[in-house]
Structure 1
């Protein structure tokens, strides 16, 4: 009887959110208590968006909750052997990144060691489960990709998205809110196509993030996800993005998206644009692209008088708007869509640079040249 209940994909999606949310609400307070007790706190520095010492290592709570959810619900859903192998590879990848993140949160870790761990975790999934980007859908005249190039390119995308989400985790609620938008977008698609494993990943992570937001936005019991959370989160979102492209290419897929690569760019719009932008600025200034600064879009919003919550809402709304534009463009040729989105995306996501809040009122000001 209970197995029949969990065979309903929409019940599974709903229960995944509720279960993860309820478990996370019990896990995060324990993490906060331990962080305070053992003084595992994040000290504010000049470029920080906070002024008080704050409990970090929220990623440990995210990992525990997410792992419990997909293992338990995976059993109740009776995943087939192929999906179980994929589930194990996901857990293997996030365990590696969790370890790296915890070490970086507590002791600092060199970018080189982070990259090695990210490449290894990505290769584990790509090589062992064959979840990879297999085609460019005809963009620039390129169709199916050679296996070796497909593997290398897929690993590169994993590493890029992992670092993109690590970089946007700069103000309260931002990384979590953007991740909820991404998970919802991919999760709905997977539910429509009855992809049980991916539905578990998407909606369980939504519940984990909703629970985390409760404490990340709290004033009295604030919690940061830290690198232990942002690396783990970026890995899972990259996994969903590439799985979305793979599922969309399958012949048995009931509901397909004609402009799948463009939709991935739109869904991941903010982290992609903000990361590329700050990399260009840092390299142009003769610095390492991984050197820390306050050149992110969310930092500009804070400097223009917006609170963390308002800054997060502005970025989230812009990201959703980009996704809607991708839907509107879906009937055009893919290359044309790419050109349009390449122009529209920066305009929309850079719009926050024109917003200024003074005396409680939001105004649009054109910067002086």
Structure 2
């Protein structure tokens, strides 16, 4: 009953936040304008992320225990959404965004004294302890995951579908481990994203009702994902193994790593936007936007299912890691084939 009330509260907060802030966004110019890289019709309000965060904030304050960890997460999230909204409005430089992400990472690491210190038994020689280097590793992980979800946001429904898949998968992992105290966190995030996805996909059949996530939303999603994964894999109360986390957010991670390597080889900045992401290549190869959404969403679900099955059956961690690396090699090879077909 408690979980149901939390979900209902979150959904309606997110829904009405969208209805309230949509005209405000249009009034202040917080909109995404068409360009050579952004092929959509008209100016679209960038309020998806703001509505999701406000719903998460309201539901958390109403239903979740007032812990230090939760307070630090909400403060860090508010800062992330603020920086993202500034980026949506003024197109901040990459350096400014990265500095902001480092500050936010510091708040999460030092605010609760938690970081990624244990990588699990990846090579069957015992758990790999990072010690003090774990702090550096956590900084890198936070920045990578935030930008992975930020960079994957390119077609209607994609970031919403992928984030819901990730949050639901994490909720299942908490449920499998018996950590029901943590179950509300990913469920609130998944539910808060649902109204955005409905508006973004035009379920209400009116183009004027469409909204976008914006950098405020995609970076907030990334921050929430790495926070949940860290909470779920570290400490005495860890709910699942670190290697499983790779499978839960596989598509955003693989897309980011592949495109960063490709840009570096071509002498371009890793953070310079282009139209060479997986969804762009699939569309150039002949798929429609909806077909592309379905293909990538199914691929993400498949990857998450491998992680969930591996955790449930306690598959050897080395096998899971090797499997992920093999899948990444297949992913890169497939990208090359698709890019040639699209030319």
Above 0.5 in TM-score? yes
Partner of residue 113, structure 1? 96
Matched, 1:212 2:193: no
Give the drift of 1:328.
Answer: 5.2
User: Which one of 126, 133, 136 corresponds to residue 149 of structure 1?
Assistant: 133
Give the drift of 1:72.
Answer: 0.6
In 2, are the aligned partners of 1:118 and 1:159 still within 8 Å (CA)?
yes
Cα RMSD after superposing both structures: 2.5
Give the drift of 1:156.
Answer: 1.3
Partner of residue 84, structure 2? 101
In 1, Cα distance between equivalents of 2:327 and 2:79: 37
In 1, Cα distance between equivalents of 2:317 and 2:87: 40
In 2, are the aligned partners of 1:273 and 1:346 still within 8 Å (CA)?
no
In 2, are the aligned partners of 1:56 and 1:223 still within 8 Å (CA)?
yes
User: Which one of 200, 206, 224 corresponds to residue 236 of structure 1?
Assistant: 224
Unaligned runs of 5+ in 1: 1-10, 356-364
User: Which one of 323, 333, 337 corresponds to residue 340 of structure 1?
Assistant: 323
Partner of residue 4, structure 1? none
Give the drift of 1:58.
Answer: 2.4
Give the drift of 1:348.
Answer: 5.5
Deviation readout 1:155-178 (Å, 9 max, x if unpaired): 211111001011011111111111
Partner of residue 362, structure 1? none
Matched, 1:67 2:57: yes
In 1, are the aligned partners of 2:72 and 2:108 still within 8 Å (CA)?
yes
Where 2:267 maps in the other structure, the secondary structure is coil
Partner of residue 184, structure 2? 200
In 1, Cα distance between equivalents of 2:333 and 2:340: 12
Which entry has the higher C-alpha Rg, 1 or 2? 1
User: Which one of 18, 25, 30 corresponds to residue 28 of structure 1?
Assistant: 18
Deviation readout 1:33-86 (Å, 9 max, x if unpaired): 122233332111112142322111322212211100111112xxxx2xxx6101
In 2, are the aligned partners of 1:314 and 1:352 still within 8 Å (CA)?
no
Where 1:139 maps in the other structure, the secondary structure is coil
In 2, are the aligned partners of 1:127 and 1:151 still within 8 Å (CA)?
no
Give the drift of 1:351.
Answer: 5.1
Give the drift of 1:304.
Answer: 2.8
In 2, Cα distance between equivalents of 1:107 and 1:349: 34
In 1, are the aligned partners of 2:17 and 2:51 still within 8 Å (CA)?
yes
Partner of residue 176, structure 1? 160
Where 1:147 maps in the other structure, the secondary structure is coil
In 1, Cα distance between equivalents of 2:226 and 2:58: 21
In 1, Cα distance between equivalents of 2:80 and 2:290: 28
Distance 1:326 1:205, change over 3 A: closer
In 2, Cα distance between equivalents of 1:271 and 1:292: 15
Give the drift of 1:350.
Answer: 6.6
- Using the size of structure 1 for normalisation, the TM-score is 0.83
Distance 1:97 1:190, change over 3 A: same
Matched, 1:268 2:249: yes
Give the drift of 1:338.
Answer: 1.4
Aligned residues: 336
Where 1:198 maps in the other structure, the secondary structure is coil
Distance 1:284 1:21, change over 3 A: same
In 2, Cα distance between equivalents of 1:98 and 1:346: 34
In 2, Cα distance between equivalents of 1:169 and 1:114: 17
In 2, are the aligned partners of 1:198 and 1:240 still within 8 Å (CA)?
no
In 2, are the aligned partners of 1:174 and 1:312 still within 8 Å (CA)?
yes
In 2, are the aligned partners of 1:322 and 1:348 still within 8 Å (CA)?
no
- Using the size of structure 2 for normalisation, the TM-score is 0.89
Distance 1:340 1:148, change over 3 A: same
